[in-house]
Structure 1
Amino acid sequence: MNGFIDKLSEKLLPIAGKLGQNKYLLVLRDAFMLAFPITMFGSLVVVINNLPFFSDEMKGTLGTLFGSGQNATMSILTIFVTFGIGYYLSKTHDVDPVYGGAVSLASYLILTPFVTTLESGEVVSGVLTLDRLGAKGMFVGMIAAFLAGEIYSRITKKGIVIKMPDGVPTAVSKSFAAMIPAILTLSVFTIVNAIVTGAFNTNLHDFVYNVIQQPLTGLGSGLPATLIAVFFVQLLWFFGLHGQIIVNSVMDPIWNTLMLDNLEAYEAGKELPNIVTKSFMEMYTVGMGGSGSTLIVVILMAFVMKSRQMKDVGRLALAPGIFNVNEPVIFGMPLVLNASIFIPWLLAPLVTTTLNYIVMDLGIFPIPTGVSVPWTVPVFFNGMLATNSVMGGVLQLIDMAIIGLIWFPFLKVVDKANLRSVDLSTAE
């Protein structure tokens, strides 16, 4: 086992290290984190407006009164993400990030059709629809923001700017310096939009959605791709790398888009289209004690195992584990490069993820509604909030029981080894 792990480590660590330091993935991660507080507010509004003990009439009234809280946040999430991409990408080029963010956002809006067709067939111009600014526009927004950020930054770095004399206020000087790069960048996107609209009688939103976004989200929402993502999260953590950050930097755009699709369907009273979403991945993997769902493992260590080492680590890790922070047990047990617990560490999340997908697909347990719940909310409560049902929390408790059963024999082996080593040292 140790030889296999050493060989795997030699192959995997360089790849994971490069992926974790990729500039564009880091920018994308930071852009989503920029939108996180706004998303959280929108989620709270949705939860309050749709509490399960409210009548349909009450929910309708609350939606009328407070629905703008969601419409102005989660429903237009792409706006905040595109600005964030432009901002952080410009920052990596040492270019004024605020103007980079503004140009990226404007480039995305240039590609967005200001027209919609009503159910009656009437075409209304001069309007932006929420679906274009939310889940449906997410991929075209990210593509536009990255391209706009690169073009703007490179033009600026080449010195193609208007330089104002000394003594001019800084705000004015920066505005003039950004003028030519902004005009050139926005011109590129205006020409592209004109070509697509004029020559192909469509828009980039519909093209990207049909050709790129739908196939990718379809792949990301399936069980095989989800299990692969979970597998690599666990494997990377085993080698001491933050698997959650590395894998999420690749998968978050897909999972967030699927989450927004669910939220839109939930708000419209329709059937939820996706099982796997950002909420699913957080509540049913991280939401039960951190990566690997280790809260039950910590409980077993603290109160069932007999060796002093296991008890001490378990009790120290219990309080953080309740709030889904499990670094104390990952590095305190340790779980990192510990061949004796490699199998349960890798296997348990794969088993529960498969179970959760199946029972949700069969309609036995509810699917997460698309509401974003803070990852630090304790188990059961986060599952209940994510699904708007007590059964969402019950499923987590079932998961924890299964994880405990998988881990228990391996923990006992480690526990006995610890006790044996203590006995030997005492005898000496």
Structure 2
Amino acid sequence: MNNRFMEVLENMLMPIADKLNNNRYLTALRDGFMVALPLIIFGSIFVVIANFPFLDRMISEEAFTAYQNALGPASDATLSIMGTFVIIGIGYKLTEHYGGEAIYGGVVAFAAFLILTPQVLEDVSGVIPTSSLGAEGMFLGIFTAFISAELYRFFVQKDWTIKMPAGVPSAVSKSFSALIPITMTLTVFLLIRIVFSYTPFDTIQNFIYTIIQEPLTALGSGLPATIIAVLMIQVFWFFGLHGQIIVNSVFDPIWYALNDQNLQAFQAGTELPNIITKQFIDSFLVGMGGTGMTLAVIILIFIIGKSRQLKEIGRLGAPAGIFNVNEPIIFGLPIVMNPLIIIPWLLAPVVVTIITYYSMAIGLVPPPAGIIVPWTTPPILSGFLATGNAWQGAVLQAVNIVVVMVIWWPFLKLLDKNYYESEETSEK
């Protein structure tokens, strides 16, 4: 029965996972976020420092305001305009995938996005709102980056380029070679802007937000969609595929947009609007030993493990697991293709997602404050930082670890028993 179930599941999911994992657009999207990640983390670190707990009570109000104003540019220049880095990263990576001049793919994507972005703020022309360059404009930016990179590649492949004579410096030659493809690409986006100015939406941003972004964001902020996303991550990992990369490629734009809304509210001192955000996933699920919260499994190994194999896996996995790297456990326990642990592997993250969501919904724990905590931050500390330096976030992570241990206990006990009996038999 187990083998039959595994075979059916594998036949259904593996082709889908392979297509998603090898899709050039999802790969460019994932890599585009990776380009922006160091800058996002930098900005997040200074948001934490600027909002250090109790500092406003230790110094005068004027000194605290001056302190926050001095550190503000760190997040304003990174977190607030994170969409720009993602757009450039996507254009760069997609053009690189096609073997083109990647840097031109990146800059033409950003230029196309700026053409589509209204440069008016409160009747002042020539000004771009930072909200358009951040998570709010990211949906438009992603589509723009994909389309502009494809158009740029198309015009290059048509050989609509200016050829410079031999002896001209390479940088000059490449610049002139890119001139016509870039001109043609940006002209297309200028025409798109003009067309939308005659529609009821006025701008393509309004169109994207009304038709696509608002419904998707509402879906992604709900518990049911989050549970489905978490389950798919677990299922893909069970078959040895990086579920985080596959699923996050689809959900990250939604989760980051929700994250940015919370960050703006946190900095303004108003109520946080969202529970589900990027940091909800990263700190309270992935950020507890890696995908599947396997730090709890490592702790449980040290408590109940009798077999030499399990004990050795625990010793090898513990140092990395503290920093949320769990490949030693996933492939060493193993979790991949192991029917003995499929139930806790799928069940534990869902239970923790529900507990975390309702703990925040009823006010026991503050929702994530929008601060991007580096994913390698150890549990307890990451929960504290992610909730805006709230001790309740750390306590919730500790409770979740205990919950995961309880769910895993009988299954890990059975696995350990099998290993122990096998070791005993081999020694006779």
Q: Which TM-score tier does this pair reach, normalised by the shorter chain?
A: over 0.9
Identity across the alignment (%): 50
Equivalences for 1:257-276 in 2 at 5 Å? 257-276=257-276
Could you list the per-position Cα deviations for residues 215-272 of structure 1 after superposition, in whole angstroms to 9, with x for gaps in the alignment? 1111011100100011011111111111111111111111111111111121122211
SS in 1 for 2:80: helix
CA RMSD across the alignment = 1.3
Q: SS in structure 1 opposite 2:367?
A: coil
Q: How does 1:315-394 map to 2 (within 5 A)?
A: 315-388=315-388, 389-394=390-395
- In structure 2, what residue type is equivalent to 1:105? F
d(CA) in 2 for partners of 1:364, 1:30:
36
1:361-414 CA-to-partner distances (Å, cap 9, x unmatched) read: 111101111111111111101111111211111100000000000001111112
Measure, in 1, the Cα distance between the counterparts of 2:320 and 2:116.
45
Residue 129 of structure 1 aligns with which residue? 129
Distance 2:161 2:255 in 1: 39
User: Is 1:112–2:117 an aligned residue pair?
Assistant: yes
1:151-170 equivalences under 5 Å are 151-170=151-170
1:2 shift after superposition: 2.4
SS in 1 for 2:374: coil
Listed one character per residue, the Cα deviations across residues 203-225 of structure 1 (whole Å, up to 9, x for unaligned) are 11122112211111110111001
| TM-score when normalising by structure 2 | 0.96
The letter for the 1-side match of 2:293 is S
Partner of 2:66: 61
Deviation at 1:307?
Answer: 1.7
Q: Aligned with 2:287: secondary structure?
A: helix
Query: What is the identity, as a one-letter code, of the residue corresponding to 1:399?
Result: N
Q: 2:323, 2:377 within 8 Å by CA — same for their partners in 1?
A: yes
The one-letter code matched in structure 2 to 1:81 is V
Selected match of 1:103 from 77, 95, 108 = 108
Q: Is the 8 A contact 1:302 1:312 kept in 2?
A: no
* Cα distance, 1:199 vs structure 2: 4.3
Q: Which residue of 2 aligns with 1:6?
A: 7
Distance in 1 of aligned mates of 2:422 and 2:87: 56
* Runs of 4+ deviating beyond 6 Å: none
Residues 383 and 397 of structure 2 are in contact (CA less than 8 Å); yes or no, is this contact kept in structure 1? Answer: yes
Shift of 1:201: 6.4
- Aligned partners of 1:419 and 1:46: how far apart in 2? 49
The verdict on how the C-alpha distance between 1:288 and 1:137 changes in structure 2, with shifts beyond 3 A counting, is same
Other structure's SS at 2:54 match: coil
CA distance in 2, matches of 1:334, 1:59: 51
Q: Which residue in the other structure is 1:120 paired with? A: none
One-letter amino acid matched to 1:21: N
The equivalent residue for 1:298 is 298
1:249 aligns with 2:254: no
Instruction: Show the counterpart of 2:82.
Output: 77
Report the TM-score, using the length of structure 1 for normalisation: 0.96
Change (3 A) 1:5 1:59: farther
Secondary structure of 1:374's aligned partner: coil
CA contact (8 A) 1:95 1:157 kept: no
Q: CA deviation at 1:319?
A: 0.8
Give the Cα separation in 2 of the matches to 1:408 and 1:201.
Answer: 56
Give me the whole-angstrom Cα distance separating, in 1, the residues matched to 2:252 and 2:147: 19
- Alpha-carbon deviation of 1:59? 4.4
**Aligned mates of 2:421, 2:192 — CA distance in 1:** 71
Task: Measure the CA separation in 2 of the matches of 1:368 and 1:61.
Answer: 25
| Residue 34 (1) aligns with residue 38 (2) | no
Matched, 1:50 2:47: no
- Indicate whether 1:310 and 2:315 are aligned: no
Cα gap change, 1:391 to 1:338, in 2 (>3 Å): same
Q: List gaps (5 residues or longer) in structure 1.
A: 118-122
Do the aligned partners of residues 387 and 201 (structure 1) sit closer, same or farther apart at CA in structure 2, a change above 3 Å counting?
closer
Distance 2:350 2:64 in 1: 37
Partner Cα distance (1:410, 1:201) in 2: 55
Q: CA deviation at 1:304?
A: 2.5
The aligned length equals 422
Secondary structure of 1:67's aligned partner: helix
SS in 2 for 1:55: helix
Partner residue, 1:224: 224
Work out the CA distance in 1 between the residues paired with 2:160 and 2:359: 59
Amino acid across the alignment from 2:267: E
Deviation, structure 1 residue 72: 0.8
Range with bigger deviation, 326-335 or 296-305: 296-305
The separation in 2 between residues aligned to 1:168 and 1:423, in whole angstroms, is: 75
Cα deviation code 1:98-149 (max 9, x no counterpart) = 11111110000001111122xxxxx222211111111221111111111111
* Residue aligning to 1:407: 408
Q: Could you tell which deviates more after superposition, 291-300 or 416-425? A: 416-425
The question of whether the paired residues in 1 share the 8 Å contact of 2:304 and 2:413 is answered with no
Alignment-mate amino acid for residue 252 of structure 1: D
Q: Distance in 2 between matches of 1:97 and 1:6?
A: 42
Q: What residue is the counterpart of 1:280 in the other structure?
A: 280
Residue segments in structure 2 that go unaligned for 5+ positions in a row = none
The answer to whether the Cα contact below 8 Å between 2:201 and 2:207 also exists between their aligned partners in 1 is no
User: How many Å apart are 1:194 and its aligned residue?
Assistant: 1.2
Local SS of the residue matching 1:288:
coil
